[in-house]
Amino acid sequence: MLTDLQLPAATLIHGIRLAVLDSADARALAAAYQRNRAYLAPWEPLREDAFFTPAGQRFVIESKLALHGAGSEVPFVLFDGERIIGTVTLTGIVRGPFLSANLGYWIDEQYAGRGIGTAAVAAVVDTAHRRLGLHRIQAATLVHNTGSQLVLQRSGFGRIGLAPQYLKIAGSWQDHLLFQRILDASM
Ligand SMILES: CC(C)(COP(=O)(O)OP(=O)(O)OC[C@H]1O[C@@H](n2cnc3c(N)ncnc32)[C@H](O)[C@@H]1OP(=O)(O)O)[C@@H](O)C(=O)NCCC(=O)NCCS
């Protein structure tokens, strides 16, 4: 279903490009995860060493593209030239009366604090609304992830609660703040 959607590559800010993940991205994505391995570790699930290799990323990309084809995920990558400097992903897309998805993202440490995270989330939120026709997006942050909470607040998300032991991050089940944005609020 989503494979029929034409999701165009978009330029965000400072020449950073947002594009749908492609099977050719494994090497660049592995390099990005290698560069940011220590930086991302406190915010992500534990990763096997294989995750940081091109072969590991080929496997991850295949499964993400299968979910994309089935309509339940839209994985985006951010490019500075040929270098991948982050990802933004809509996962768990559910249609019917829920019309909702989860949002996840990260930005390369070297590119932090330049507004790229906020611009990328805004672009993906717009795609979720105008092209995917979703009603709602949910995001969860660790309670102490102030930077991520700022990105969400600046992108029109409101806090909806605290979910105890919500996700297994960095090896332990951790409480998360939940945020949502209603996309068709005026309808
Ligand atoms: C959260 C993240 C995506 C933000 O990306 P970014 O491109 O730096 O975001 P932006 O530049 O648009 O905005 C971030 C804002 O948060 C601020 N910020 C970042 N870390 C902060 C911290 N620890 N405390 C307070 N503010 C912080 C930045 O200064 C910036 O605010 P400013 O514009 O007023 O200076 C990025 O830091 C990241 O990938 N972190 C690790 C992974 C992660 O947390 N992913 C999200 C999981 S929910």
Q: What are phi and psi of 182, to 5 degrees?
A: -85, 125
Q: Ligand 1 pocket test: which of 13, 78, 103, 107 has the largest number of ligand atoms within 8 Å of its C-beta?
A: 107
- CB atoms inside a 10 Å sphere around CB 156: 15
Domain annotation covers residue 176: no
Range of the structural domain that residue 88 is part of: 12-137
pLDDT value for 7:
63
pLDDT value for 12:
80
Distance 4 CA to ligand 1 centre (A): 33
- CB atoms inside a 10 Å sphere around CB 160: 11
**CB distance 74 to 18 below 8 Å:** no
pTM: 0.95
- Helix then strand then coil, in percent of the chain rounded to 5, is 40, 35, 30
Domain annotation covers residue 73: yes
Domain annotation covers residue 177: no
Domain annotation covers residue 129: yes
Query: Quick one: which atom of ligand 1 is closest to the CA of 39?
Result: 41
Determine the angle formed by the axes of helices 146-154 and 116-130, rounding to 10 degrees.
50
Contacts of 115 (CB under 8 A, 6+ apart): 13
Query: Quick one: which atom of ligand 1 is closest to the CA of 118?
Result: 12
Domain annotation covers residue 89: yes
Domain annotation covers residue 102: yes
pLDDT value for 8:
62
Q: What is the pLDDT along the chain (187 residues), one digit of tens a residue?
A: 454 455 667 788 889 999 999 999 999 999 999 999 999 999 999 999 999 999 999 999 999 999 999 999 999 999 999 999 999 999 999 999 999 999 999 999 999 999 999 999 999 999 999 999 999 999 999 999 999 999 999 999 999 999 999 999 999 999 999 999 999 876 5
Ligand 1 lined by 105 (C-beta under 6 Å): yes
Ligand 1 lined by 40 (C-beta under 6 Å): yes
Ligand 1 lined by 113 (C-beta under 6 Å): yes
pLDDT value for 13:
83
pLDDT value for 1:
47
Domain annotation covers residue 97: yes
Buried b (16+ CB within 10 A) or exposed e, 6-26: ebeebebeeebebebbeeebb
Domain annotation covers residue 23: yes
If one counts the domains in the chain, the total is 1
Give the residue whose CA is nearest to atom 1 of ligand 1.
148
CATH number of the domain at 131, please. Answer: 3.40.630.30
pLDDT value for 2:
52
